[in-house]
Structures are given as C-alpha cells and as structure tokens.
Structure 1
Amino acid sequence: MNDKREVFYAKIMLFGEYSVICDSMGLTIPYAHFKGELSFINEDKYTDLEFAYESNRQLKKYSLYLQKLIDDGELIFEFDLSSFKKDIDKGLYFESSIPQGFGIGSSGALCAALYNEYGQNKIPNSRHISKKEILNLKKIFAQLESYFHGVSSGIDPLNCYLKHPIIIQGKADLSTVGIPRNKHDEKGAIFLINTGHAGMTEPLVKLFFEQCKQHSFYKSIRDEMIPFNNNCIKSLIKGETKEFFKNLRGLSKFLLKNMEPMIPETFKEIWNIGLDTSTYYLKLCGSGGGGFLLGFTEDLEKAKFELKKHNVELIPVYKNAKVIDTIKNI
C-alpha cells in the first residue's frame, strides 16, 4: 500500500433519500467533519485497538466477497485483490471517525478508499470529471457497496471519492455542481441531530420498495414528495431562500405523515414542533430509523433555543455565510 494515504470524508445527502429510487433529483455533499483512511494496526497511532482488529476482520470478510465476484467473472473493474489480501494479513484496517449506521457514508468512504488504493486503471477523482466517467464510477461503487446494504446506488461512495457536491438529475445524469455564494440569509444553517442509535438501511429500503407496490403510496411519492424534493434542490442552487423553505416545509410534512417507520418514535414530536413553530425543518439523513436527522433553519440561534427546550442539541454542519465557501473549496 502507498505510504501516502488519502483521506475520504463522510457525505450528507441533502435531498433525494428514497425519492431517487423513483427517479427524483438528488443533491449530495461531502462532510469533512467525519473522515476515514486506510491504515495498519502496527503503526504508531492513537486508535481503539479493538475497533482496528474488528475492522481488519471485516475487511477479510469483504475480500471473500470480492474474490467471489472475480471467480464468477462479475467484477466490473480491475482490482488488485492479491495486494489487498496481503495488506489485510499485515493488519490493514479502516481508521474512521464516521459513525456506522448514521446515514453519512461510513461504507461509502471505505469503498472510496479501497477503490483509490487497489483499483487498477482507475478513474481519477478530478473536479473536472466527465459525466461518462461519473456514471462509470457510480456503477463500480454500486457493486463495491452492495456488500454492505444488499443493494446500492453507488452515490454515497461516489461522493466520498470525488469530494465535491453532486447533483443527480436522472439515473444517467449526474454531475458535480457548485452552490452559489452568499445568496441565502447568513443566519440560516444546516444541522444534524443525533438520535442516539444507529439505523438499519437494508430493512428500511426493502420496506420502501414494498410500499411503492401500493398504487396510492407510489402516487404520493410521484405527485407530492418528488416535486417538493426537486424544487428544494433547484431553489437552493439558485439561492431562492423563500421558495426553498416553502418546499422544504412541504417535504418535511410529507415525510412525517407518509414515512413514519423511518422516523424514530422519540423524535416525531421534535419533528412536529419544527413544523408548528417554523423555526426549523427536519428530514431524513440516510435511510432513517436512527442515526442522524438532517435539519435546516433560517435562524440557527432560534433553532438552538427551541430545541434546547426539549433537551435536544443540534450539530451545525454549515452556516450559510460559511457553508458555501466551504463547499466550493472542497
């Protein structure tokens, strides 16, 4: 393995969770607060050894998944499995601060790191990457990440790998995107709320697929959720704050009403308070069921004050005056 190891950040899917399955738009951004990199147990690092050994064991299991894909002639790209196995025997593990099961790309960052280190003839993670290269990467990452979730779109590891916001405008239309500077009120912010326990992606995604078989549910996704979702993305990128929060409110309300199984029971009241007071709006971060909730507010201090009444602390992700610069420079 190379001596110089690249760090890969967490991701946050601002919009498109679940709805992208039904061909909505999506918008995902890197989140540098959490990150991970490949490392070796015998290196002089201040790490949790139990975590490192468990990570090494999981990588060994993952190598069997890759071996089977290769043996069956199904792996769609070249991967140096021999070097990967040798490094595992030397104590390879994924040194990561990204919480697992919290919807911010723990498996995505790992897949990005493995492709970067062991992929052969790999597509470079350039900001000026072509749409064709992005689609090829998405397919590769979907295969790599399917081990963890049963099925994967490949978008999470793609975002972790490119380290730049990605807009999804269709299954075959993905591109990097810039978010305009200083067009939203500087008091506004994006934040996370920790529900205190991990979520389970695979069963919730399966549930969503089952629900989509019901005509009334699928119709509500198509006629309500997707328009709210797409308008949020368009207005955010254009810097249309009023239109953005109008659609965000609609999306938050829709999720609370129609996707209850994905929202932890103890946070439904908190979710509703945001809608009642208009001080903040919550949505799913990842597949839900636990992990983080994603919040947006036009006034961060007011949101903090309101949530503190209910013993809930928020974790600021980006403040508008700074978020845009941060995103643009990633």
Structure 2
Amino acid sequence: MYKTYPSKILLAGEYTILMGSGALAIPFRSRGMSWKWAKDLKDKSLLDLLNYLKNENSLKDHFRLQMFEEELHAGWYLQSNIPQGYGLGSSGAVCAAVYDRYRSEEDKTPEEVHQIFKSMEAFFHGRSSGIDPMVSYYNSAVQITSDRLLILNDFQMSLPSKLNMVLLDSGIRRNTRELVGGFKAQLDSKEYEQTLKIIAETNQLLIKSLLEGNRELISESWMEISRMSIEAFSDMIPQNVLAFWKQGLLEESFYCKLCGAGGGGYFLVHCLDRAKMQDVCAKYQLTLIDLD
C-alpha cells in the first residue's frame, strides 16, 4: 500500500497570496493520489515534468532524475481521484508525490522545501505560491504569512463540519495558468491593486478567526470577502455560480468564495441556512459536496 498525497482546500488567500499576503490551507483527504505500476504504461504528463526538471537549473540537483526516468518508462504512474481544473490542487499533489519519491536530499527545512515546490509547480501554472504541494507533502494544514511559513500539525481538521462548509460544483473545468495570467495583467491598475489590499486585510481577519475558532468573526469576514470578490474576481465566477453567489449574499443565508483560482471547478461555501442554500442550489442546477 503506497502513501497517499491528499488534495487541499484553500480556506483563505485566493490570488492575494501571489502578492505576498497570507494564506491558510488544509488537506482534503477524501481526494488524493498515490504511486501505482502498470505494465507498458507511460504517463506523458509526468514525462513532461521530468523534462522540465532536467532543464531547470534551480531544481535538477534536488532530484534523482535518472531513477525518475527509469521508473516512468517501467510503468510507474500516479493514480488520482483529484479532479483536474477544479481548485483542489491536483498539480500540487503531483509535485509532492514526485519530490517525496525522487528527492536527492534529506533533512531540508519546510522553508527550503517550499522554495522547491514554488519552482516545481510553476511548470503547471507559470507562477505558484507553493502552498498546495506543501499541504499535500506534509499532509497538514499550512499557513503562509508575509515573512514565514508554518506547518500547523495541531490545527483542528474538523473545521468544515463546524462551519457548515461545503463545496459547490460549477460543472466547469478551468485553466489555472490562464486565470493567473489574467490576474497578473490586472495588477497594472492602481485601483484594482487597492481593492486587493482590502481583500488581503480581510483575509488576514478570516485566517485569525479560523485559527482562534471565532465563529462570529469567521462569518463576518467570509461574508465581506464574498461581497468584494464579486467586484475583484468577476472574471473568475461563472454566470450560474454568480447568480447563486448573489442570492446567498442577498438572503444572508450562505456566502461563497473562490476555491483556488476560480473560473470553474469548485467554489467554497460557508452556510448559515442549509435548507435555503439547497433550495437555491436546486434552482440553478448546481451540486453541493460535503467536506466530511
């Protein structure tokens, strides 16, 4: 039985993490990937990653690349039930699994591992915070602040049930690289940058309230992020999800936020009135997924 590398849920920090702001993510252990072997199978995506590692001077010395190549040609691959393009960190889990199996060094600090993961995951997204593979590699909650990284082994993983937190399935796959590129282009606007600074400050409040278990402040800050996201991240919210999103704010019965890059895939919902949320969900023919 091989080790499983879990997916992740980004509780706070969507996009603002790329500006150096804080973020908090937890493992989502019902979705993950593990190494498997099958005769005559060659995983093209892993072969592409191998070629990237070979040609990236900042990375190649950290891996046993000959072993990686030989095992890929021998039929080793990653079996996964993490949906791609859905915001659960499928590429992060790939990075964690590859690094864990083929790293050439031991005893690296979490900060050093984080830098490796940022460079690795850039292969998939063009730019990466590195938080997704950190969550998967350490199988633990991870907090990133403006100047440090924390592995939160004692963080309570029962948060989703306590907060009535669910995933909303948009039914649409998205391309993270394109979304991140579009976000970076908008940073040329001073007005947009100022809006993001306000969102980043509210994210910090949400992180603080989550770590302290302050339910009232969690709801308040989540609602504010939900409201501001409609303006700041409108391109990342599909129309069917946007209608659902706005009704939750109007009725103050549930609050939506991005789950990763947005644009499709899953969205994260903090529910105050489950019956109302389910009625609205049925109205827009969307699907809810419990995190427990």
The within-5 A match list for 1:290-329 is 290-318=264-292
Does structure 1 retain, via aligned residues, the 8 Å contact 2:196–2:232?
A: no
Number of residue equivalences: 291
Q: Which secondary structure state, in structure 2, belongs to the residue aligned with residue 315 of structure 1?
A: strand
Equivalent of 1:204, from 154, 176, 179?
Answer: 179
Equivalent of 1:8, from 5, 17, 21?
Answer: 5
Q: Which residue of 1 aligns with 2:148?
A: 173
TM-score (norm 1): 0.82
Q: Which residue of 1 aligns with 2:106?
A: 122
Does structure 2 retain, via aligned residues, the 8 Å contact 1:261–1:289?
A: yes
Q: CA deviation at 1:225?
A: 0.6
Does structure 2 retain, via aligned residues, the 8 Å contact 1:14–1:29?
A: yes
Equivalent of 1:67, from 31, 43, 54?
Answer: 54
Tell me the amino acid that sits aligned with residue 111 of structure 2.
L
1:93/1:21 CA distance change after superposition, 3 Å: same
Q: Which residue of 1 aligns with 2:164?
A: 189
Which segments of 5 or more consecutive residues in structure 1 lack a partner in the other structure? 43-51, 125-132, 319-330
Q: CA deviation at 1:308?
A: 2.7
Does structure 2 retain, via aligned residues, the 8 Å contact 1:255–1:283?
A: yes
1:120/1:185 CA distance change after superposition, 3 Å: closer
Q: Which secondary structure state, in structure 2, belongs to the residue aligned with residue 304 of structure 1?
A: helix
Q: CA deviation at 1:143?
A: 1.6
Deviations 1:267-307, CA, capped at 9 Å, x for gaps:
11011011011111111111111111111113444433442
Tell me the amino acid that sits aligned with residue 72 of structure 2.
I
Tell me the amino acid that sits aligned with residue 61 of structure 1.
D
Tell me the amino acid that sits aligned with residue 78 of structure 1.
H
Which segments of 5 or more consecutive residues in structure 2 lack a partner in the other structure? none
1:162/1:303 CA distance change after superposition, 3 Å: same
Does structure 2 retain, via aligned residues, the 8 Å contact 1:189–1:299?
A: no
1:316/1:123 CA distance change after superposition, 3 Å: farther
Measured in 2, the distance between the counterparts of 1:180 and 1:156 equals: 18
Q: Which residue of 2 aligns with 1:239?
A: 213
Does structure 2 retain, via aligned residues, the 8 Å contact 1:283–1:295?
A: yes
TM-score (norm 2): 0.93
Q: Which residue of 1 aligns with 2:72?
A: 88
% of aligned pairs identical? 30
The within-5 A match list for 1:269-280 is 269-280=243-254
Deviations 1:35-74, CA, capped at 9 Å, x for gaps:
10111123xxxxxxxxx95x712212221111212xxx43
Q: Which secondary structure state, in structure 1, belongs to the residue aligned with residue 48 of structure 2?
A: helix
Equivalent of 1:227, from 201, 224, 227?
Answer: 201
Q: Which secondary structure state, in structure 1, belongs to the residue aligned with residue 99 of structure 2?
A: helix
CA RMSD of aligned residues (A): 2.1
Does structure 2 retain, via aligned residues, the 8 Å contact 1:10–1:104?
A: yes
Q: CA deviation at 1:193?
A: 1.0
Q: CA deviation at 1:24?
A: 2.1
Deviations 1:61-101, CA, capped at 9 Å, x for gaps:
221111212xxx43265211111111111112110000111
Q: Which residue of 1 aligns with 2:259?
A: 285
Measured in 2, the distance between the counterparts of 1:247 and 1:150 equals: 30
